[in-house]
Amino acid sequence: MFNTPIIDYNLLAPILIVLGGALLGVLVEAFIGKTHRARIQITIAMITVVIAFAWVIKIHKALSPVAAVASVSIDGMGLVLQGTVLALAFVALMFIAQDNHFAPVAAALPGSEEEAEATVSGTQMTEVYPLVLFAISGMMLFPIAHDLITLFVGLEVLSLPLYIITGLARRRRILSQEAALKYFLLGAYSSAFFVFGGAFLYGYSGSLSLATIRQTTITPGSNHIFLFIGMIFVTVGLLFKVGAVPFHAWTPDVYQGAPTAITGFMAACTKVAAFGALLRIYFVGFSGVANDWKPILTTIAIITMVGGSIAAIAQKDVKRTLAYSSITHAGFLLVGIVALNRAGLTAMLFYLVAYGFATLGAFGVVTLVQDSSGEVSDLNRWAGLAKKSPWVATAFSLFLLSFGGIPLTAGFIAKFSIFTAAYASGNIAIVVVGVISSAIALFFYLRVVLTLFFKEPTAESATVAVPSLMMKIGIGIAFAITLVLGVYPNLLFNLVQSLSNLLV
């Protein structure tokens, strides 16, 4: 007999709204003239994100393990992560709209390839907006997927648009296209690992459902060989997306080569989605064999924290420094998974919000530091920037201090809560290493701050472009959230704690 599939469109509406906006953007790209296309596209993208966010708030008390034939699980954790992705994406779209990487090259030589490209494409590469919306839809599906097929679909939907938009920079096109190619090739390998691991897990449990895999792991007498092989391969695929060591090699090159606004979008939103998927897999699918995978994940967390911190010290490029900072924070977030308790889950959700907005703000500032040829990311040329633009330097310093976990910033609360959860679960060694890694990381954050405020500008020092209104609003939102959550963390912490339920 045929059973009618159960699909709750009300609970799936946020994803469907974003997909609808992306498809509308494709139609605009095809049928609207280039004169008005940019304004229409950014309007559609931002309205779509706002409506989807409002719908997430509307269904915030919903609980359903069968929102889409048991392949999608709507719970508090999933909705918090979806809302976080949308909030971060809204700010990222402000930066993307103002990023000159997508504008025609103003200083193109007559008859050159750049001039021809600028003439053909109009005022902006507007195809970036529907691609970003498609990526957002995948990011929203990823943390609520309850079986491996849906997880893989979410992984590909979020990844494929990112491969494209990484290579869309008009300036430094060779570097951008090289970054896109590296990202694509390594991403393809990570997807292959994920699929291969899923095949072993299916062979082990006879199902692709995380709940069934969990039930099989706690069955006495089960042969766990296929489980361990599948678990390792699936983990490799996901650790690539979060940039954990030793699967991090793509991160510095991609962060440096991609358009800066896209780098911020990737660094913030992709991490939220990928860690959401890791949380669901380990808290649901593999929780029955926690004693087997905890030592492996603990080792990866330790080498990620230490390796990212040490590598960042040698960097002279601001974007590469932030890339290694991102790797370090991936290690800190893995601590929450190793804790495997409610406190760790809550701490990770708070951490992802705090880290996401600080990251977006930092990359937003990077887009403003320029010279006559465009954006400048050489740290030596940032010397004395505070004397030219004290507010921009202050904002960037706050974001760096939040990364370093300085008190009165959101980053301090995030690190304190995640280390507390790990300590409560008995993982004292990882807490000690985490604190040492934070101290190492603080060195290169303070080095940048000292460069901004205590070095004299030289003839080669970069200047700060006058930010547009949207850029001011975006950086202002990131600045305010980073500061307010550091002073009044309970504004978010209590909300996240009340919603951090996870359907098993």
Q: What is the pLDDT of residues 23-44, one digit of tens each?
A: 999 999 888 888 888 889 999 9
Q: Considering the domain boundaries, does residue 174 fall inside one?
A: yes
Contacts of 62 (CB under 8 A, 6+ apart): 10, 11, 74, 79
Contact yes or no for 275/352 (Cβ under 8 A) = yes
Strands 463-464 and 374-375: unpaired
| 439 inside domain | yes
d(CA 331, CA 327): 7
Amino acid at 407: P
Looking at the domain assignment, is residue 405 inside a domain? yes
User: Does residue 1 form part of some domain?
Assistant: no
Would residue 95 count as lying in a domain? Answer: yes
Are the beta carbons of 165 and 128 closer than 8 angstroms?
Answer: yes
Report yes or no: 140 and 113 within 8 Å, Cβ to Cβ: no
Which two three-digit tokens encode residue 365?
């500032």
CA distance 369 to 371: 7
- What confidence score (pLDDT) does residue 504 get? 54
**4 found inside a domain:** no
Is 225 part of any domain?
A: yes
The pLDDT assigned to 387 comes to 85
Q: Which two tokens stand for residue 345?
A: 């889950």
Which residues have CB under 8 Å from 35's CB, separation 6+? 122, 123
Domain limits for position 411: 9-499
Our measurement of the distance from residue 263's CA atom to the centroid of its chain's CA atoms, rounded to an integer in Å, reads 9
Q: What pLDDT is recorded for position 458?
A: 76
What is the structure's pLDDT at 400? Answer: 92
Residue 209 pairs with which residues in a beta bridge?
A: 147
d(CA 144, CA 280): 8
Domain count, the chain: 1
Residues 6+ apart with CB under 8 A from 11: 59, 62, 64, 67, 72, 74
Least Cα distance to 271 among 192, 335, 213, 327 occurs for: 327
- Give the pLDDT of residue 350: 93
What stretches in the chain show pLDDT beneath 70? 1-3, 99-124, 170-171, 218-223, 502-504
User: CB of 201 within 8 A of CB of 227?
Assistant: yes
Angstrom distances, CA of residue 185 to CA of 138, 191, 192, 464: 19, 10, 11, 35
Is residue 217 situated within a structural domain? yes
Beta bridge partners of 147: 209
